Structures are given as structure tokens and as C-alpha cells.
């Protein structure tokens, strides 16, 4: 599955001032829920799903990148959210590096194969030093989205 299958411009945000892992997960939950026309209950449910997944082990993949993800009922397709942070935060990374580049996924409960394929695709993109650098250099939401699309096409 391609990143462009799960990511849209409205779910791409640059230079956010979110200051903790908890705040990131809360705000991601709200962002996804608001975009999809959900309510506070849906946002709360997503937040708890993200937290439950993080309790299994950090979703940081190292080098300042995290891919928080969760399964959620009521979704028909995978939704992604790409953000950069103004200041890196502790994300309990195995390499102890703070995180400033985050690609979150909300996955329908029954989409296991697509979930794994999408995670693999995002991880492959984010493991390249040059890709991370280009994403970190983005100055606005549109640039961040367009850069992610270009990086995917160049693989």
C-alpha cells in the first residue's frame, strides 16, 4: 500500500508545538476524529487505542521518528497523519533519541495485511537519512505533504 493511499493534505501538519508523547497521541486522535467527522468520544477511543499500543512497546523506529498506530472499529480504510514537531520529544525510543517526525496510522480492525504493508512502506521511507532530512526541512503543511509524495514516488 502506498503512503498516498492513506495520507491526504489535511492530515499533514508541519512545525507543531506539541510537548509530550501523551499530548501527541491526544492531538493526533483529535485531528483524525475531527477530519473524519467524529466526536469527542471517537477521539477519546482513538487516544486510548494509541496508548494501549504504546504500552506494548514504543512505536519509535529510531533516528527521531515514530510511527504510532492503532486498530479502531468503525473505520473502512487506513488513515495516516504526518507531522513534524517544533521541538523533539521523548518517545521512549530504543535509541534514546527524541522524536520530531511522526507518521501515525489508524487502521480498521480487519485490515491486518494492509496494516503491515503500510507500516513497512512508511518505515522504509523513514529509515533513509535523506528522506528524514527533506521532511524536516519542510516549512509548511503543503510542502510536507508534497515532499512525502515525491519521496514515495522516487523509491
Catalytic residues: 69
- Asked if 23 contacts 87 with a C-beta cutoff of 8 angstroms, the reply is no
CA 152 to chain centre: 15
- Asked if 145 contacts 9 with a C-beta cutoff of 8 angstroms, the reply is yes
Helix then strand count (H, E) for the chain reads 5, 6
Rounded-to-integer distance, Cα 52 and Cα 39, Å: 20
Amino acid at each position: 500500500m502506498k503512503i498516498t493511499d492513506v495520507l491526504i493534505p489535511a492530515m499533514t501538519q508541519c512545525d507543531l508545538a506539541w510537548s509530550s508523547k501523551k499530548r501527541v497521541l491526544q492531538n493526533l486522535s483529535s485531528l483524525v476524529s475531527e477530519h473524519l467527522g467524529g466526536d469527542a468520544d471517537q477521539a477519546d477511543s482513538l487516544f486510548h487505542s494509541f496508548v494501549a499500543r504504546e504500552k506494548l512497546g514504543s512505536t519509535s523506529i529510531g533516528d527521531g521518528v515514530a510511527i504510532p498506530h492503532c486498530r479502531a472499529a468503525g473505520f473502512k480504510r487506513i488513515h495516516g497523519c504526518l507531522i513534524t514537531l517544533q521541538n523533539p520529544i521523548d518517545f521512549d525510543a530504543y535509541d534514546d533519541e527524541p522524536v520530531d517526525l511522526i507518521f501515525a496510522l489508524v487502521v480498521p480492525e480487519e485490515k491486518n495485511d494492509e496494516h503491515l504493508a503500510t507500516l513497512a512502506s512508511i518505515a522504509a521511507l523513514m529509515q533513509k537519512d535523506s528522506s528524514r532530512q527533506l521532511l524536516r526541512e519542510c516549512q509548511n503543511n503543503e510542502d510536507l505533504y508534497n515532499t512525502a509524495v515525491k519521496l514515495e514516488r522516487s523509491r
